[in-house]
Structure 1
Amino acid sequence: MTTLVRELWESGYMHTQDIAYIRPDGYIKITDRLKDVIKSGGEWISSLEIETILSLHPSVADVSVIGVRDKQWGERPLALVVLKPNAQETSADDIKAIAEKAVERGIIP
């Protein structure tokens, strides 16, 4: 298991950096984030901008971007993507290509 996976799933819980509470009926309500920017290689990257860009892919139902520690960059973005039920042929590379085009256009650093 990689360090990234261990950190993300520490103590058996997924640490998304969201602020949430559990309602009496057991429903988990996400209310906010601990932070909305990721500092990677000295650049501030908006997790919200990346989420907006990735959500443009027609196969993406939901997306959340979190910062994870990285030896080289200090921190780097990690996208957690939920595909629509009919999106079996969509790969991670398909979705990553949208983010790479945004970087090329200067939308995100």
Structure 2
Amino acid sequence: SCKGGATVCRPHLLRRGARQLSADEMALEISPHDDRSFRQVVLSNGLNVLLASDPAAEHGAAAMTVSVGAAFDPVDLPGLAHFCEHMLFLGSIKYPDESAYKKFLSSHGGRSNASTSMERT
């Protein structure tokens, strides 16, 4: 991991299945006044991940952005990106009931939200 003060973060691997990003692939500029630790990795499914760790923080957070929004909807399927955003919360293998994931988050002091813009979901 790299600490504040570094110009470019050269991450360590999180675990098997993740690979380190080269400086050319994704350089992270960090303010010399930033005390947090950062790691960047690419998961085995190709997802680029930036992790920021702040031991002084009382709560954790996670965010995910996909670079496909409403502007990328097919002409014959307007609203597809927004529809897919809502489908994420309708159930999964681990949380099959529509409200199961929300209940899990709530029982651990968490919450979720989603949005779709023209270029991102």
Shared topology, TM-score over 0.5?
A: no
Using the size of structure 2 for normalisation, the TM-score is 0.26
Q: Which has the larger radius of gyration?
A: 2
Using the size of structure 1 for normalisation, the TM-score is 0.28
